[in-house]
Amino acid sequence: MIVVFVESWNNQFKKASFEAVSYARSWANMAGCGVRAITSASAENANQLTQYGADEIATLELAQTGAGIGAQLAGLVGDAQGVVVAGTALGKIVAPTLAALTSGALSTNTTGTPTSTSPVTVERGAFSSKGIETISLNNGLPIISFVPNAIGIKEAAGAGTMTSAEAAGTDKLTTNEVSIASGKVALPEAEIVVSAGRGLKGPENWGMIEELADVLGAATACSKPVSDIGWRPHSEHVGQTGIQVNPNLYIAVGISGAIQHLAGVSASKTIVAINTDPEAPFFKAADYGIVGDAFEVVPQLIEELRAFKAAN
């Protein structure tokens, strides 16, 4: 049995939740076993996990914190051959907690499904995307935390038996407040990211970046100096010392492409750079580029995309 922890937000599943089930299904197919999804009792329509390959869907009253949930899972994975957790903010606490409590073998930042199951072997990002590590999970329960968007969502029919579970796990933190910007695409799991740098000259010019993101259904991001000067919130800073993104499309506007910035974005499948300077290092990392002034190119791009969306 491959066990997958399926996260929900405000009782809804996220894209990374379905991707986690897809990941578990691929692994289970290789290992010749079933998939047990574990999720919150308050998640709406938990049975929809069936269509991504869950054979059993166990629901329980989840603890509030990642550490509490990790402790609960430790009590539920006794017979598992492997565990899958999406590398979301919560998953990044759940997975190592579970690994510590079960003395398991954990791969985080995993970028693909297993290439072998004896021992379980996967590829993962290391050195901030400057390297690819092949790691084998030799000793203890294999646990895989994958980068959102690593494999995408795949439909696959599972048996979908609903069960309920109980497990102890205490929260050691009192949660005082949780505030989430509504309607915004969360950066780490965004499929498209529109990012801008110091080339935009000032925070008042971000309107067109937000508009471009809006047309594309994208998340917005920025370079480090932009968040350091306070033009944009810290939570948008991508790069080696910020958030690492893994979208299908990354559009960089007025960003030079310093090595520390590229470290956080070079896992993107397609990169577009828009920069006035033909020598900007970003053009070496990009698939497509426009040498031009953002203040002219971006409004045109918004217009062309609107026309494209209307026609398609």
Ligand X SMILES: Cc1cc2nc3c(=O)[nH]c(=O)nc-3n(C[C@H](O)[C@H](O)[C@H](O)COP(=O)(O)OP(=O)(O)OC[C@H]3O[C@@H](n4cnc5c(N)ncnc54)[C@H](O)[C@@H]3O)c2cc1C
Applying the rule CB under 6 A, the residues between 10 and 39 that interact with ligand X are none
Rg of the chain over Cα atoms, rounded to whole angstroms, equals 21
52: helix, strand or coil: helix
Q: Closest CB to ligand X belongs to which residue?
A: 239
Stretch touching ligand X by CB under 6 A, among 47-55, 87-95, 134-142, 273-281: 273-281
- Bond from prior residue into 114 cis (ω within 30 degrees of 0): no
CB closer to ligand X out of 25 and 261 = 261
Identify the CA nearest to 221 among candidates 275, 273, 265, 263: 265
Q: Two tokens at 59? A: 């629901």
Scan residues 288-307 and list those touching ligand X (CB under 6 A). 293-295
What does the alpha-carbon distance between residue 243 and residue 186 come to, in Å, rounded to a whole number? 11
Q: Two tokens at 145? A: 């935390």
CB of 180 to other proteins, least distance (A): 4
From other proteins, ligand X, none, interface partner of 275 (C-beta below 5 to 8 A by class): ligand X
Site mask for ligand X (CB under 6 A), range 172-201, x = bound: -------------------------xxx--
180 burial via Cβ count (<10 Å: 0-12, 13-18, 19+): exposed
CB closer to other proteins out of 61 and 296 = 296
What does the alpha-carbon distance between residue 169 and residue 177 come to, in Å, rounded to a whole number? 21
Conformational region of residue 210, where left means phi above 0, alpha means psi within -120 to 50, and beta covers everything else: alpha
CB closer to other proteins out of 140 and 203 = 140
208 binds ligand X (CB under 6 A): no
Scan residues 213-242 and list those touching ligand X (CB under 6 A). 223-226, 239-242
What does the alpha-carbon distance between residue 235 and residue 186 come to, in Å, rounded to a whole number? 10
Binding residue (CB under 6 A) for ligand X from 87, 104, 264, 289: 264
CB of 127 to ligand X, least distance (A): 14
CB closer to ligand X out of 50 and 129 = 129
Decide: 250 and 270 in contact? Cβ < 8 Å. Answer: yes
CB of 93 to ligand X, least distance (A): 22
Scan residues 69-128 and list those touching ligand X (CB under 6 A). none
What does the alpha-carbon distance between residue 180 and residue 166 come to, in Å, rounded to a whole number? 29
From ligand X, other proteins, none, interface partner of 261 (C-beta below 5 to 8 A by class): ligand X
Q: Kindly list the residues in this chain that would bind ligand X in the complex (CB under 6 A).
A: 197-199, 223-226, 239-242, 254-256, 258, 260-261, 264, 274-277, 280, 293-295
